[in-house]
């Protein structure tokens, strides 16, 4: 199942900013330099994890996302560089 | 004496484990990064005495902020490490664990928040985890105290792991994957109704009204309950019991003269005036205990409640966009709010900000435009009698200053203002006992800090009057005070006192027969011109001498400018 859905052409990696609240997605890559990547991973934000959007603040404000039970407030610039696959 | 370092990620309940082990009143908070300064304590385990260090929370040993640098340094200090792990987020917590035990420090792992794993449908095989890590693992629930005895009993068993080596980041995550696969089973569950309600406090449409309401209610609570304590407890004590007694007692051995005046001023039993007598034992105690303490208690109660519930990170999310315009980000709301209690912890808390630029801006804005609770209580006490209008003018001026100065500093200070990145912990039910303990610890901290300085200040000012120094200074500074700011030249004494304590300094304005306009200007000038000595010392340590000098220069220039502008608006030329 998992493999089949991965092969569909519309399942390509897109920025996390395109995810709507309520939708679920799988994290493909984190972007950023090694230091920030490590920091994100230790906060629970890791490749392969399932992410949802809890809230997006207006005026290019930060997001609150949920990664398998951990909620993280994260600036929009960082969110834009995180690539996901919707599921 | 062997040293135990208590380490762990932010918000895993480390400080609660610490206070359980030591019995010391240690402050813990549901806000990542509250323990920015480390706390030390002693404990006795099995007859042996240990020093215990509560290390600031850190996600890894490659530090990203100043608070985390402290953590790394503290690891090297300790002989034994108790690694406190959030059992509900075992996977990401294990990263730090592997880093610590990879360094071959004798370690015990405390699986804290153990009770919550059951509610969340998480099963962890403790024995298997123990075997894989090759160090003792103890499930704990620090809030209730479960498992703490077992944890203490195993301190002697702490040992360097033979199975875990120091490895690269990639290898470490692979290793963690293997461990998790073997020891943890997570049963699927849906979002509970409570989690959905919790989410409304970070969604902008609902979150912003909730935030405004929360702040208003907090403010109302502090004022109403604070006033109630003043009227029904402190005033009766001072006016009916303490006052007559102390005047009688001093009169009995020193009916007049210098000593009498220094101790109780010109007070007599018939005319007790705690504000104007300016004696060590009258005004010197009345200001901290009667005028300020009730509001400090109510402030810290509300702050502790908001912290323990876990509201502050949500507030940080909501104010993030606004604070970015000032070169800060949402997390800066924490030092700011702490600053409204006392600028000293506020200045320390700027460490949670990542860059020098942010720390400089946050600390400078706080020192200039955030009056501490002691100061606020006095501003309300002194200006309140002329009507709310004047109080509003003071706070609006400070708010405008905060914003304008922030906009300016963002432009002129070099460096980066990174984006917000902050864990938002789940809401937790506060424990009433912890809440009261915390409020008491902070209120006691205020008294321990304030009373000696207030008494010292009153003493010095008395001496300055006696030796005529005040007259000289009044004449010297009269051009600035009278000509530029429109204040009586005697106001210099309040400015001198303000270096020591701002609360008593504002109290000194009262006997000067000022108009409400003059009082308003004085309050703003006193708030902005320079931090009190305690804050100054901490800022100097946090910012370094060069940045502190820059900040101090800004303060004096801004204070004078704002004072002159207010004079022109309120009094005229």
Q: Is B422 on the interface with A (CB under 8 A)?
A: yes
Q: Is B449 on the interface with A (CB under 8 A)?
A: no
Which pLDDT does position A2 carry in this prediction?
Answer: 44
Which of B131-140, B300-309, B384-393, B437-446 is least confident?
Answer: B437-446
Q: Do B422 and A72 count as a contact with CB atoms less than 8 A apart?
A: yes
B492 occurs within a structural domain: yes
- Mutation pick from A27, A35, A60, A64 vs chain B, by most beta carbons of B within 10 Å, is A64
Share of chain B above pLDDT 90, in %: 57
Chain segment B221-279, per-residue pLDDT in tens = 999 999 999 999 999 999 999 999 999 999 998 888 888 888 988 777 777 788 888 88
Q: What are phi and psi of A57, to 5 degrees?
A: -75, 145
Q: Is the pLDDT of residue B76 over 90?
A: no
Average pLDDT, chain B: 89
Which pLDDT does position B276 carry in this prediction?
Answer: 82
Q: Do A44 and B91 count as a contact with CB atoms less than 8 A apart?
A: yes
User: Above 0.95 for ipTM, yes or no?
Assistant: no
B193 occurs within a structural domain: no
Q: Distance between terminal CA atoms of chain B?
A: 68
Q: Is the pLDDT of residue B29 over 50?
A: no
Q: Which of B186, B219, B254 is the C-terminal boundary of a domain?
A: B186
B108 within 8 A of B96, measured Cβ to Cβ: no
Report all structural domains of chain A as residue ranges with CATH numbers, in order of start: 2-86 (2.30.30.90)
Which pLDDT does position B25 carry in this prediction?
Answer: 47
B106 and B222 both lie in a single domain: no
Chain segment B142-152, per-residue pLDDT in tens = 888 889 999 99
Which pLDDT does position B38 carry in this prediction?
Answer: 61
Mean pLDDT of A16-41: 89
Average pLDDT, chain A: 86
Residue A11 binned pLDDT confidence (cut-offs 50, 70, 90): low
Which pLDDT does position A85 carry in this prediction?
Answer: 94
- CA pair distance B562, B58, nearest whole angstrom: 41
Which pLDDT does position B67 carry in this prediction?
Answer: 65
A71 CB-side CA count, 13 A? 23
Which pLDDT does position B345 carry in this prediction?
Answer: 87
- CA pair distance B313, B336, nearest whole angstrom: 13
Mean pLDDT of B19-37: 55
- CA pair distance B408, A48, nearest whole angstrom: 43
B311 and B450 both lie in a single domain: yes
Q: Which domain holds residue B457?
A: 205-570
B285 and B392 both lie in a single domain: yes
**CATH number of the domain to which B171 belongs:** 3.40.50.300
B200 occurs within a structural domain: no
Here the tokens at position B160 are 């360097």
Which of A18-32, A61-75, B66-80, B176-190 is least confident?
Answer: B66-80
Q: Is B317 on the interface with A (CB under 8 A)?
A: yes
Domain count, chain B: 2
Q: Is the pLDDT of residue A54 over 90?
A: yes
B157 and B215 both lie in a single domain: no
Which pLDDT does position A10 carry in this prediction?
Answer: 52
Q: Is A22 on the interface with B (CB under 8 A)?
A: no
B137 occurs within a structural domain: yes
Which chain B residues in 496-555 lie under 8 Å from chain A, judged by CB atoms? Answer: none
Candidates A38, A40, A57; nearest CB to B204: A57
In eight-state DSSP terms, residue B468 is T
Mean pLDDT of B369-397: 95
Chain segment B542-572, per-residue pLDDT in tens = 899 999 999 999 999 999 999 999 999 998 8
Q: Is the pLDDT of residue B292 over 90?
A: yes
B63 and B104 both lie in a single domain: yes
Nearest by Cα to B402 from B372, B364, B374, B355? B364
Helix (H, G, I), strand (E, B) or coil at B83: strand
Candidates B62, B169, B199; nearest CB to A55: B199
B118 and B266 both lie in a single domain: no
B392 and B428 both lie in a single domain: yes
Chain segment B37-51, per-residue pLDDT in tens = 566 777 888 778 888
Q: Do A75 and B418 count as a contact with CB atoms less than 8 A apart?
A: yes
B370 occurs within a structural domain: yes
Q: Which of B186, B221, B250 is the C-terminal boundary of a domain?
A: B186
Q: What are phi and psi of B413, to 5 degrees?
A: -80, 130
- CA pair distance B67, B50, nearest whole angstrom: 24
Strand B80-86: give its sheet, edge to edge: B39-45, B48-54, B2-8, B80-86, B107-112, B137-139
B390 and B455 both lie in a single domain: yes
Q: Is B329 on the interface with A (CB under 8 A)?
A: yes
Share of chain B above pLDDT 70, in %: 96
Neighbouring-strand partners of residue B86 = B112
Distance from CA of A39 to the nearest CA of B (A): 7
- CA pair distance B340, A76, nearest whole angstrom: 29
Which pLDDT does position B448 carry in this prediction?
Answer: 86
Residue of chain B whose alpha carbon sits nearest to that of A57: B204
B298 occurs within a structural domain: yes
B197 occurs within a structural domain: no
Q: Is B59 on the interface with A (CB under 8 A)?
A: yes
B551 within 8 A of B425, measured Cβ to Cβ: no
Q: Which residue has the higher pLDDT, B33 or B331?
A: B331
Rg (C-alpha) for chain B, rounded Å, is 27
B131 and B258 both lie in a single domain: no
Q: Do A73 and B96 count as a contact with CB atoms less than 8 A apart?
A: no
Which pLDDT does position B315 carry in this prediction?
Answer: 96
B211 and B83 both lie in a single domain: no
Which pLDDT does position B33 carry in this prediction?
Answer: 44
B437 and B357 both lie in a single domain: yes
Distance from CA of B181 to the nearest CA of A (A): 15
Q: Is the pLDDT of residue B497 over 70?
A: yes
Q: Which residues of B touch A59 (CB under 8 A)?
A: 321
Residues whose CB is less than 8 angstroms from the CB of residue B465 and which lie 6 or more positions away in sequence, other chains included? none
Q: Is the pLDDT of residue B428 over 70?
A: yes
B121 and B21 both lie in a single domain: yes
Residue A7 binned pLDDT confidence (cut-offs 50, 70, 90): very low
Q: Is the pLDDT of residue B531 over 70?
A: yes
B196 occurs within a structural domain: no
Q: Which residues of B touch A46 (CB under 8 A)?
A: 92, 173
B337 CB-side CA count, 13 A? 23
Which pLDDT does position A12 carry in this prediction?
Answer: 81
Q: Do B89 and A70 count as a contact with CB atoms less than 8 A apart?
A: yes
Q: Do A73 and B202 count as a contact with CB atoms less than 8 A apart?
A: yes
Q: Which of B140, B155, B186 is the C-terminal boundary of a domain?
A: B186
């Amino acid at each position: 199942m998992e493999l089949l859905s991965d092969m569909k052409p519309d399942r390509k990696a897109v920025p996390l900013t395109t995810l709507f609240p309520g939708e679920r997605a799988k994290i493909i890559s984190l972007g950023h330099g090694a230091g920030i990547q490590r920091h994100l991973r230790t906060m629970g934000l890791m490749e392969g994890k399932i992410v949802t959007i809890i809230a997006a603040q207006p005026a290019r404000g930060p997001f609150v996302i949920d990664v398998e039970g951990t909620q993280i407030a994260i600036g929009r610039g960082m969110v834009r560089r995180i690539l996901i696959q919707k599921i | 004496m062997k040293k135990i370092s208590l380490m762990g990620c932010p918000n895993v309940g480390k400080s609660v484990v610490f206070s359980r082990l030591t019995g010391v009143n240690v402050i813990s908070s549901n806000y990542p990064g509250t323990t920015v300064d480390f706390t030390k304590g002693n404990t006795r385990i099995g007859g042996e005495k240990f020093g215990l260090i509560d290390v600031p929370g850190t996600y890894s040993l490659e530090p990203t902020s100043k608070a985390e640098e402290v953590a790394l340094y503290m690891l090297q200090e300790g002989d034994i490490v108790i690694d406190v792990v959030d059992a509900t987020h075992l996977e990401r917590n294990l990263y730090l664990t592997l880093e610590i035990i990879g360094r071959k420090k004798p370690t015990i792992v405390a699986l804290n928040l153990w009770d919550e794993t059951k509610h969340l449908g998480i099963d962890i095989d403790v024995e298997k985890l123990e075997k894989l890590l090759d160090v003792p693992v103890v499930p704990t629930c620090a809030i209730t105290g479960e498992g703490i005895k077992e944890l203490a009993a195993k301190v002697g068993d702490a040992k360097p792991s033979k199975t875990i080596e120091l490895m690269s980041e990639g290898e470490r995550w692979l290793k963690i994957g293997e461990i998790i696969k073997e020891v943890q089973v997570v049963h699927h569950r849906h979002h509970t109704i409570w989690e959905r309600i919790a989410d409304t406090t970070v969604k902008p449409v609902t979150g912003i009204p909730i935030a405004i309401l929360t702040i208003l209610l907090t403010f109302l609570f502090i004022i109403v309950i604070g006033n109630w304590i003043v009227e029904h407890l402190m005033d009766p004590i001072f006016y009916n019991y303490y006052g007559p007694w102390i005047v009688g007692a001093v009169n009995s051995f020193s009916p007049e003269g210098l000593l009498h005046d220094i101790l109780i001023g010109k007070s007599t039993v018939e005319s007790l005036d705690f504000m104007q007598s300016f004696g060590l034992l009258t005004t010197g105690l009345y200001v901290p205990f009667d005028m300020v303490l009730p509001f400090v208690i109510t402030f810290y109660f509300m702050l502790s409640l908001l912290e323990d519930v876990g509201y502050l990170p949500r507030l940080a999310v909501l104010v993030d966009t606004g604070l970015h315009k000032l070169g800060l980000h949402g997390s800066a709301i924490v030092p700011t709010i702490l600053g409204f209690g006392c600028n000293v912890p506020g200045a320390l808390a700027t460490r949670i900000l990542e860059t020098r630029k942010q720390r400089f801006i946050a600390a400078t804005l706080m020192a200039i435009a955030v009056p501490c609770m002691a100061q606020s209580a006095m501003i309300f006490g002194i200006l309140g009698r002329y009507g709310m209008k004047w109080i509003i003018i003071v706070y609006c001026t400070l708010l405008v200053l905060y914003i304008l100065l922030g906009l300016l500093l963002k432009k002129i200070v070099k460096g980066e203002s990174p984006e917000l990145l902050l864990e938002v912990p789940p809401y937790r039910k506060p424990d009433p006992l912890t809440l009261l303990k915390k409020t008491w610890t902070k209120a006691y901290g205020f008294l321990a800090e304030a009373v000696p300085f207030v008494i010292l200040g009153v003493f010095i000012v008395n001496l300055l009057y006696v030796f005529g120094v005040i007259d000289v200074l009044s004449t010297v500074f009269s051009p600035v005070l009278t000509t530029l700011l429109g204040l009586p030249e005697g106001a210099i004494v309040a400015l001198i006192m303000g270096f020591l304590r701002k609360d008593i300094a504002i109290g000194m304005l009262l006997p000067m027969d000022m108009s409400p306009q003059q009082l308003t200007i004085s309050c703003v000038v006193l708030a902005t011109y320079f931090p009190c000595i305690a804050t100054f010392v901490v800022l100097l340590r946090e910012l370094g001498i060069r940045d502190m000098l820059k900040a101090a220069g800004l303060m004096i220039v801004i204070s004078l400018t704002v004072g002159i502008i207010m004079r022109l608006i309120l009094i005229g030329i």
